Chain A
């Protein structure tokens, strides 16, 4: 099979993209389609669940009865955090290891095996939740016990994903061996590789914790210790979020490149940041156990300082290099006036670009700042298990990752499914609707959580301790939920509608979403050696740091006001 994995080899099933001129492996294309479509179906299911939940936590509406609230909450977590994200990530991996490297997918059979296992597992889990046999939340903390099919389904999804990740690694290996490309892999593939490596470590934790829980649920073995379960489960639960972060950052680099021609201002620094994710995020999962019994202060502080902050540093690096790449590209196109002159010339009407900018801002300013603060050992005392926690992760994994993935779909569908979007005007608004909705939702959650409202609770009135302000913020949560759901529904309808009714693209270029044109007299690469060109980004990141510091120390102040405890 020497050099058969090169897309330019004779007899290779591939095509040349009419828009980018890059080679597309038809096998990879098929599995990108399958995984993306199934992912979007799970996104819709999880989204319907999200609407029902938001309308229940909005205490004035209080839609669902208690049993269905907990059932739908379990369903929402599994569909969003596991099924939608993993299916879409496998699609991204298949793209990242083929087209950018001019390589073809290692194996169709392996890809089928992965897809079928993931699909069976996903359907199994959803079924067993909906028939009421697994009201255990996504975390399924022991001694809560679900039907064995719940654990078996998750194991199948995890193994299927691992098989898909294997296909990715094998494709990279063969492409390198057969010389499909020369030089170093591009940053998008590098980011996907980091995501894949973390995914392997993550899914191994999943196996370690889920297999004994499955055998316990079958009555074959004794109950695993609940503290042990939490420790290992979060090796799965948190690290999998770092897979999302890696994939999201890779998508940021990809879309900012496609839309404005941005490239990393320093490849070495960007790549090092991905390596920091790989090395440190495992230990940083400790921040889920900050107020747990049995794990000491030294262990908690060590893992959440040295380990976590090196992963945080990585995000702060990408938070600079992504906008800096965009700014530099714009300045080289001639939009060089003042500090922010380039901002108004950005392609704000391009939905993929808008989604990316919103994703960077929401992830960084809201998700990042809250996450690091809540993950501070002592501050966790005033945050653990309150609505502040979902308030944080809805602006990372939804406002960040999901929104970036939605942005990607505005190029995946024309380039891979080869159909132009229908209702393009609506598509241009969709990222804004979704982004604003999810931001409102997260504000509602965070402020209600600051007032002590707990997460995963069907009702707050029986306690009699929450006043009108908490109720008001739960209303904000509800309205944000409705807006975000509308944005999600519009997205799904646009995608599905385009797959059916979209105008076919064969051989021609896709309809342009809008990209900034270079002004007369500008030269590409003119600022490559001006290390002080990205003034706007420098100002923005300093504003970010100031917001971070204010929020961080305000939380220490809030902590200092509660009872002394040790």
Chain B
């Protein structure tokens, strides 16, 4: 009885269908537990959380240096409702090299141009609040924190224009915060 104290001995080992179900459930938990280490070694999409501490000022200086050294053009979008996004430098990091992407209220700076099939180390950080790096329409999402340089080692495998949306709340302009990655 579920509502009154139990007086008779109530310890029984599982039996019958209950035992079968317990076996199925435990087996399934094992499968799920093994999938993650398997994918870590054999799969291609992992979040290793590689990160280094960095002050916002130091990160901003690295971004400026990166832009000055590698800018290849300017992205113009005068019709954008977000004045910060009407003009962005387009920066192409060397293949296999480092790229810096800064999240701030309310833009991702700068725009990146990447080459299909090359691998880049993209350094993500914020100089104010927490932001969410959400690459659309691929739907790849990573968290970005101020004070942490979050490194994604990433290999674009499709061409085109991609939009970085912010998916962590960062104030009133949050839904207008975006950035660009072009893959050629």
Q: Which of B61-69, B93-101, B138-146 contacts A (4 or more CB under 8 A)?
A: B138-146
> When the two chains form their complex, are residues A535 and B46 in contact, meaning their CB atoms are under 8 A apart?
no
Contact with B along A511-552 (1 / 0, CB 8 A): 000000000000000000011111101100110010011001
A275 CB, nearest partner CB in chain B, Å: 14
Q: Assuming the A-B contacts A70-B169, A293-B49, are A378 and B43 also in contact, with contact meaning beta carbons closer than 8 angstroms in the complex?
A: yes
> When the two chains form their complex, are residues B6 and A186 in contact, meaning their CB atoms are under 8 A apart?
yes
Q: Assuming the A-B contacts A141-B130, A143-B128, are A565 and B155 also in contact, with contact meaning beta carbons closer than 8 angstroms in the complex?
A: yes
> When the two chains form their complex, are residues B17 and A537 in contact, meaning their CB atoms are under 8 A apart?
yes
A457 to B158 Cα, complex, angstroms: 27
> When the two chains form their complex, are residues B17 and A377 in contact, meaning their CB atoms are under 8 A apart?
no
Q: Which residues of A contact B149 (CB under 8 A)?
A: 293
Q: Assuming the A-B contacts A184-B10, A381-B47, A462-B82, are A257 and B17 also in contact, with contact meaning beta carbons closer than 8 angstroms in the complex?
A: no
> When the two chains form their complex, are residues A377 and B47 in contact, meaning their CB atoms are under 8 A apart?
yes
**Is A61 among interface residues, defined by CB-CB distance under 8 A?**
no
A312 to B31 Cα, complex, angstroms: 13
Q: Which residues of A contact B83 (CB under 8 A)?
A: none
Q: Assuming the A-B contacts A316-B25, A385-B132, A462-B176, are A268 and B139 also in contact, with contact meaning beta carbons closer than 8 angstroms in the complex?
A: no
A296 to B14 Cα, complex, angstroms: 38
> When the two chains form their complex, are residues B141 and A291 in contact, meaning their CB atoms are under 8 A apart?
yes
Q: Assuming the A-B contacts A226-B146, A313-B29, are A542 and B24 also in contact, with contact meaning beta carbons closer than 8 angstroms in the complex?
A: yes
Interface residues of B in 23-82 (CB under 8 A from A): 24-26, 28-29, 32-33, 35-37, 39-40, 43-51, 81-82
**Is A290 among interface residues, defined by CB-CB distance under 8 A?**
yes
> When the two chains form their complex, are residues B1 and A538 in contact, meaning their CB atoms are under 8 A apart?
no
A265 to B139 Cα, complex, angstroms: 44
Total of A-B residue pairs, C-beta within 8 Å: 304
Contact with B along A382-396 (1 / 0, CB 8 A): 111110000000000
Contact pick for B150, options A293, A309, A382, A531, CB 8 Å:
A293
A381 to B143 Cα, complex, angstroms: 10
Q: Which residues of A contact B86 (CB under 8 A)?
A: none
> When the two chains form their complex, are residues A301 and B141 in contact, meaning their CB atoms are under 8 A apart?
no
Interface residues of B in 101-142 (CB under 8 A from A): 124, 128-130, 132, 134, 136-142
Interface residues of A in 458-501 (CB under 8 A from B): 458-460, 462-466
**Is A181 among interface residues, defined by CB-CB distance under 8 A?**
yes
> When the two chains form their complex, are residues A566 and B46 in contact, meaning their CB atoms are under 8 A apart?
yes
A89 to B32 Cα, complex, angstroms: 32
Q: Which residues of A contact B130 (CB under 8 A)?
A: 141-144, 226
Contact pick for A383, options B40, B43, B141, B170, CB 8 Å:
B141
Q: Which residues of A contact B1 (CB under 8 A)?
A: 186, 257, 263
Q: Which residues of B contact A433 (CB under 8 A)?
A: none
**Is A182 among interface residues, defined by CB-CB distance under 8 A?**
yes
> When the two chains form their complex, are residues B175 and A226 in contact, meaning their CB atoms are under 8 A apart?
no
B151 CB, nearest partner CB in chain A, Å: 8
Q: Assuming the A-B contacts A266-B18, A563-B158, A565-B140, are A100 and B5 also in contact, with contact meaning beta carbons closer than 8 angstroms in the complex?
A: yes
A186 to B11 Cα, complex, angstroms: 13
> When the two chains form their complex, are residues B46 and A565 in contact, meaning their CB atoms are under 8 A apart?
yes
> When the two chains form their complex, are residues B11 and A268 in contact, meaning their CB atoms are under 8 A apart?
yes
Q: Which of A116-124, A341-349, A424-432, A447-455 contacts B (4 or more CB under 8 A)?
A: A447-455
Contact with B along A262-276 (1 / 0, CB 8 A): 111111110000000
Interface residues of A in 305-347 (CB under 8 A from B): 305-306, 309-310, 312-313, 316-317, 320-321, 324
A143 to B170 Cα, complex, angstroms: 10
A463 to B77 Cα, complex, angstroms: 12
> When the two chains form their complex, are residues B81 and A378 in contact, meaning their CB atoms are under 8 A apart?
no
Contact pick for A254, options B2, B11, B169, CB 8 Å:
B2
Chain A, Cβ-Cβ closest to B37: A301
> When the two chains form their complex, are residues B167 and A386 in contact, meaning their CB atoms are under 8 A apart?
yes
> When the two chains form their complex, are residues A545 and B24 in contact, meaning their CB atoms are under 8 A apart?
yes
Q: Which residues of A contact B132 (CB under 8 A)?
A: 384-385, 454
> When the two chains form their complex, are residues B145 and A385 in contact, meaning their CB atoms are under 8 A apart?
no
Q: Offer 25 A-B interface pairs, CB within 8 angstroms, sorted by A.
A: A144-B169, A183-B6, A185-B5, A186-B4, A230-B145, A263-B1, A291-B141, A293-B145, A293-B148, A301-B37, A309-B33, A312-B29, A313-B29, A317-B22, A317-B25, A321-B18, A380-B141, A385-B167, A450-B139, A459-B175, A462-B175, A538-B21, A563-B157, A566-B47, A566-B153
**5 nearest A-B pairs in the assembled complex, by CB-CB distance:** A531-B16, A293-B51, A454-B167, A293-B150, A257-B2
Given contacts A186-B5, A378-B45, 9 further A-B pairs with CB under 8 A are: A183-B7, A253-B2, A290-B47, A306-B33, A378-B40, A450-B139, A457-B174, A545-B25, A552-B32
